[in-house]
Chain A
Amino acid sequence: MKIRDLTELAARNLREAQLRNSLTTLGIGVGIASLVAMLSLGVGLQRLATQRLERSGLFNAIFVRPKSDLRHFGGPPKQTPPEKHAELDLKARQAMSHLANVITVYPQIRFLTEVRYDGNSYPTSVAGIPETDQNSGAFEDMQGRFFSGPNVDEAILQIGFAQRLSNKPESLVGKQIAVRYAKREPLPAAGGKNGSGSSATAQNGVGAGFSVVLQETRLKIVGIVKTDPEGFGGFGRGQLFVPLQVAEQLHATQITDLRQVLRGPNPEPTYGVLTVRVTSPTKVPAVEAAIRKMGFETFSLLDTTRNLRLFFTVFDLLLGIFGGLALVVATLGIVNTLVMAILERRREIGVLKALGAADRDIRQLFFSEAAVMGLVGGIFGTGLGWAIGRALTFGTDIYLQRRNLPAVDISFVPWWLALGAVVFAVAVSLAAGIYPATRAARLNPVEALKYE
């Protein structure tokens, strides 16, 4: 029989025993719904966690520092054979920015300041923010706006700091603040004052250094943000953010400057830590390896994501097993319904065989009925599963709101889950139909025609 005829006959047969078939289809629907709801919860939570972590900008970032740095990322320094020391300077920065899949490379600039506002002074720390951070989640629900350009005298305040400045932090947007900082200035040209030092500098760098001068600059507050978007791998949390270029041009004294002094006169500026942003977390290992080859130490949070994914895979599996149990019950329902249908339609099967239906036709007819039940149940179940997920999200949000926490989407039905659930429902129904369909096809027509 042609597929269209099979489908028509199957649909007709299903309509006839409406109550029983509806209940069976409902059973499949509920089974699929529980599976979809469970998995959508797993997917939703994974998405939530991944989004939050990816928004933090930590998972597509590699932190690079020179090998002989005094500070060590995580754990004691590794014993490495003596090798040529690579400087983390402008040349290295440019080389890194030319690596494949690297979006940008920028130094971490953080320094201490004193902010003057409304006649009071507030000590705090400034952090330079690259333009690319605009898209990170940290600025998503900020008050005000992001910097209008890469080189503007604007500031964004961290909410905690803003609250120190004013009882109404939101009123600060648009106001001016004065920022005092320690500017690093080159020493005046050698001559007369310290003749011996000058000659030593020329010979081996001893006596080289810089002077520190108090400077003040004025910034306009344009926004208030909840968290420090660059608050990892740097020198403490920033509370006042300025465009990275502005921070660089201030030449403020940083902790690493002391180390630079020890190295003697060096025309090239060096960096304490460079942050390398790559296009996606999956590109991190390759870029990390390339940077290590250049002679630097790197650190990324990739291992953490790997563990996170592993955790969610196991989590999804467990949720799937619980959801699947309902589907097993539904499968037994299909077998039962179809076996009952054979008994009920024995004579009909006999007539069909007498009219020239091959065993294959009978088998296909029962398979089609199982598939139609699976398809309808699958579509209904996917919708129901989605609705259950929504209801769970709704309930969770009410709970979170009561605790003054932001609303989250804990369930998510991606297209592959919806499609997969429907295909799975049909596949399970077909599998459930194997025994009844084979039994129907093997029915002896003479016996079947005698059946009253």
Chain B
Amino acid sequence: MAEIDSATANGFAIRAECVSRWFQLGEARIRAIDEVTLSVRRGEFMGLLGSSGSGKSTLLNLMAGLDQPTSGSIIAGGRNLAELSSRELARYRNQTMGMIFQAFNLLPRMTLEENVELPLRLAEVDRGERAARVREAIERVHLEKRLAHRPGELSGGEQQRAAIARALVNRPTLLYADEPTGNLDSNTGEEILNLLREINQTLGTTIVMVTHERAFAERFAGRIAYLKDGKLAAT
């Protein structure tokens, strides 16, 4: 616990300590992440850069508590994610962090407003408060006029902005972005990254962004960690 406390005291939002993640594929054991130690400071905008298959998304999933490391530990908010119960882990995903994806992952049957409201439903926030929080999040991404539209009626950029609003609606301290510009043209991608930088600067939200686009990472991230074959190559 002393180490954990020091991690928090030292101003880390999240820390991976000697984390490994292996996958068994038939006889072969694949080391997707191999003894990676990485700290992300609070309020930092970190880029996780690497080629396809380098293990960057696996590391992000481990940090987001969507996957469990084979060894090592992920410390977030002073607690080892591996030691959390499935309910505590769900609460961590719901309240401490937000996540956006390359494929946006909005629920196609819901309107933009309902998609953004979803984390609040899961958090059992009162209905009266929800409307205000949803409006606030949607205004931040400038989609006020698209409230009643379904994802299929929105452009790629709008969908990603909606996903950002959904990720922010519970006011998390951490935002994970998995290739957020991967499905967008360069202009729209830039818009999204500008939005993320604005969120990082105005709200102080720690952002960890996985990308394979070096130029974007260098332009927007405050610090970059390079992953190669599951190992941390440089920061």
Contact = CB atoms under 8 A, between A and B. Distances in A.
Nearest to A9: B121
Interface in B149-175: 166, 170
Contacts of A13: 109
Interface stretch (A25-33, A309-317, A357-365, A394-402): A357-365
Contacts of A360: 87
A93 B92 CA distance: 83
Given A16-B109, A446-B67, A356 B124 contact: no
Contact of A2 (B109, B110, B124): B124
Interface in B93-141: 93-95, 99, 101, 105, 107, 109-110, 118-119, 121-124
Interface in A329-384: 347-348, 350-361
Contacts of B86: 358-359
B93 A446 contact: no
Given A446-B61, A446-B66, A446-B67, A357 B105 contact: no
Among A13, A357, A360, find the residue whose CB has the most chain B CB atoms closer than 10 A: A357
Contacts of A353: 66, 90, 93
Contacts of A351: 105, 107
B94 A356 contact: yes
Nearest to B85: A358
A1 interface: yes
Contacts of B166: 355
A355 B107 CA distance: 12
A355 B122 contact: yes
B91 interface: yes
B109 A347 contact: no
Is chain A's binding surface mostly helix, strand, loop or mixed? helix
A354 B105 contact: yes
Contacts of B101: 449
B59 interface: no
Nearest to B92: A356
A361 B90 contact: yes
A137 interface: no
A355 B66 CA distance: 10
B84 to A, nearest CB: 11
A338 B65 CA distance: 27
B87 to A, nearest CB: 5
Contact of A1 (B92, B109, B122): B122
Contact of B118 (A2, A350, A355, A358): A355
A16 B121 CA distance: 20
Contacts of B90: 353, 356-359, 361
B109 A356 contact: no
B64 interface: yes
Nearest to B96: A356
Contacts of B107: 348, 351
A445 B66 contact: yes
Among A347, A353, A356, find the residue whose CB has the most chain B CB atoms closer than 10 A: A356
Interface residues of A, number: 25
A16 B92 CA distance: 30
Nearest to B91: A356
Interface residues of B, number: 26
A96 B210 CA distance: 95
A376 to B, nearest CB: 19
Contacts of A347: 105
Nearest to A355: B119
A445 B99 CA distance: 13
Given A1-B124, A359-B86, A449-B101, A354 B66 contact: yes
B109 A12 contact: yes
B198 to A, nearest CB: 22
B176 to A, nearest CB: 9
B70 to A, nearest CB: 14
A358 B123 CA distance: 10
Nearest to A359: B86
A5 interface: yes
Interface string B180-217: 00000000000000000000000000000000000000
A313 B155 CA distance: 65
Contacts of B105: 347, 350-351, 354, 449
A355 B94 contact: yes
Contacts of B67: 444-446
Among A1, A5, A9, A350, find the residue whose CB has the most chain B CB atoms closer than 10 A: A5
Contacts of A12: 109-110
A39 to B, nearest CB: 39
B182 to A, nearest CB: 14
A9 B86 CA distance: 22
Nearest to A5: B121
Given A1-B121, A1-B124, A347-B105, A356 B95 contact: yes
A14 to B, nearest CB: 11
A189 B195 CA distance: 128
A357 B66 contact: no
A445 B86 CA distance: 12
A351 B94 CA distance: 11
Contacts of B110: 12
15 contacts: A2-B124, A5-B121, A5-B124, A12-B110, A351-B105, A352-B118, A353-B66, A354-B105, A355-B122, A356-B123, A357-B90, A357-B122, A358-B90, A446-B66, A449-B101
Interface of A: 1-2, 5, 9, 12-13, 16, 347-348, 350-361, 444-446, 449
Given A353-B90, A361-B90, 16 more contacts: A1-B122, A350-B105, A353-B66, A354-B66, A355-B93, A355-B94, A356-B90, A356-B122, A357-B122, A358-B86, A358-B90, A360-B87, A446-B66, A446-B67, A449-B66, A449-B101
Q: Which 8 interchain pairs have the tightest Cβ spacing?
A: A356-B94, A358-B90, A356-B93, A5-B121, A445-B66, A351-B105, A356-B122, A355-B119
